[in-house]
Structure 1
Amino acid sequence: MEEFKITSKNGFRALVVVLSGIMTVSAFAETEEQKGVFRAGFDFSLASLEVNELEPSDEIAIAWGLKVGYESPNGFGVELGSRKYVNANFFSTLIPGTDVTLEHSILYVLPTYTWAYSNNTFLRAKLGFGRWASDYAVNIDPERNSNDRENRTETGIDPYLGIEGGFQFKHVELGLFYDYQSADFVEVKGGGIALSYRF
């Protein structure tokens, strides 16, 4: 059963690599008459973080991020960004009385495809990889000494996907988004609002 899970996960990663490569190459296949659009912006979101063998005490984590992107005339593009999640606290189900304070961040590169409509609305799909890092402090005995914490770090690279929609004008883009990443250590599901400048 474990072997099947590993094979399935590796197969999904391989599929993401292939699709990401096709989308990235297509993004830069533009003509001299048609030029693409660059964008830079920021986002704010609320997310649910689920950590293996830990039970959340605060259901929602706050996140903010920065991103830059390129969109070709044929709809293909690429987005590079980072996002940091704060205010995430957990309790260990393995060690009773142990609490964990977590700060989670993601650096991602996502090939994209954008459907632009005549009424200035758009829908964008994203699929690629994100490098995540979780810095957390473990309080083994909170009743004895709340300041006695052990700092730990987990990192990894896993598939990352998202969808975004909203309004798109000549120089401004405003939208709502939903992102998801499932990793060995932590699963992140969240959404929020994004604002970008197009040039």
Structure 2
Amino acid sequence: MHQSIKRNIGLIGLILICLTMLTVAVVSGQSDVADQKSSAQTETTDNQQTVGQLTTAQLNLGEKADIRMNQAAMKEAVKKQPTSIKKEPVQETTNKQTAQSNQKKSKGKIVQASQQQSSNQTLYVTATAYTAYCDGCSGVTRTGIDLRANPNQKVIAVDPNVIPLGSKVWVEGYGTAIAGDTGSAIKGNRIDLFIPSHDEAVRYGVREVKIEIIK
């Protein structure tokens, strides 16, 4: 009886020892697998970092190549640019010369116009009026203008020593007339305006007016 119990205890001890060894083997196996997985993950991470570094290096090389290409293109553009820059001042000079020439021409015209205007003589005279049907009047002026046949003609009688016969004269309030007549009473700075209507001539009376002898 005691022997069988001892045997059973021995068997149980062996079984326990076997189970313990098996458990240790399993645990160590799992540890090895975990170590293998960790090392594999580490290698994968290292490979990814290596690939990333290679990609970054490739990108840097590409960017450097692009920069070099851009620099080369800029150098070519700078080489070509002076030619176009040289042409622009020539066009600007031509435009300036043309503008200056036009200004000189316009100035010349303005000077000529001002000379023509300044050559006109301005006077202040005493003005009266007459008609073609006054006592002793023939209706024909000293220069041969028939006022009765041309009642709308603007004619003034003048002193030829002051205003030459045949001159065009602008008279304030009357208009532009021809110095085409004379009169015994018209001496010095005095003129006589032809007005067709006798009543209007009388109403005109005597006035001080400004005249301009147009040359």
Do these two structures clear the TM 0.5 threshold for a shared fold by scoring above it? no
Indicate the structure (1 or 2) with the bigger Cα radius of gyration. 2
Which structure features the higher share of helix residues? 2
Structure-1-length-normalised TM-score: 0.23
Structure-2-length-normalised TM-score: 0.22
Which structure features the higher share of strand residues? 1
